[in-house]
Amino acid sequence: MLSKRCYSFILNASTRRLFHGTASSKIAGICRNGFDRDYSGTAAGSTYGTGTYFAVDVSFSRGYGDSLLLVRVLTGICGYSSGSGKPNLSIIPGSQNERIHSVVDNTSNPSMYIVSNDNPAYQEYIIYLS
């Protein structure tokens, strides 16, 4: 049974189709086990804190491996990351203790979303680059 808070979040959830670049050798593991924020920063650093990084523009993700995943990501309520390398654990304005669900590099025109929860991303398509 879903809690009222969880059900409300699902109904009002914000989802986006975003890109994630990676090595083709990691595709099967991601598709089988999902994304894992514990690997955050192993390929490209973690400027915006721990989490899985997704890009709006495919050209940005191309530089991170020979494969791309087109992913449906539950971004929820986004906050801004200062680029300090630490996660943004801000409380959502107007909530009691609920923290933001993801961070962006730019609140007015995000090019990148960083999600610190492992579950809110579904791999829709695999794109192998030549």
Residue 91: inside a domain, yes or no? yes
Look at the alpha carbons of 113, 65, 70, 33 in this order and tell me if their dihedral is positive or negative.
negative
Residue 7: inside a domain, yes or no? no
Express as a percent the part of the chain with pLDDT over 70: 79
Structural domain boundaries, residue 74: 14-128
Number of domains making up the chain: 1
Residue 89: inside a domain, yes or no? yes
Residue 103: inside a domain, yes or no? yes
Two structure tokens written together for 101 = 């669900």
Residue 81: inside a domain, yes or no? yes
- Which CATH number goes with the domain that contains 97? 3.90.228.10
Residue 5: inside a domain, yes or no? no
DSSP-based three-state secondary structure for 53:
strand
Residue 63: inside a domain, yes or no? yes
pLDDT string in tens for the chain (130-residue length): 334 444 444 445 688 999 999 999 999 999 998 888 777 666 656 777 778 899 999 999 998 889 999 999 998 888 887 666 666 677 777 878 888 888 888 888 999 998 887 778 889 999 998 7
Residue 9: inside a domain, yes or no? no
The pLDDT value given to residue 7: 41
The pLDDT value given to residue 123: 92
What is the rounded distance in angstroms from the CA atom of residue 32 to the CA atom of residue 106?
31
Look at the alpha carbons of 42, 68, 27, 110 in this order and tell me if their dihedral is positive or negative.
positive
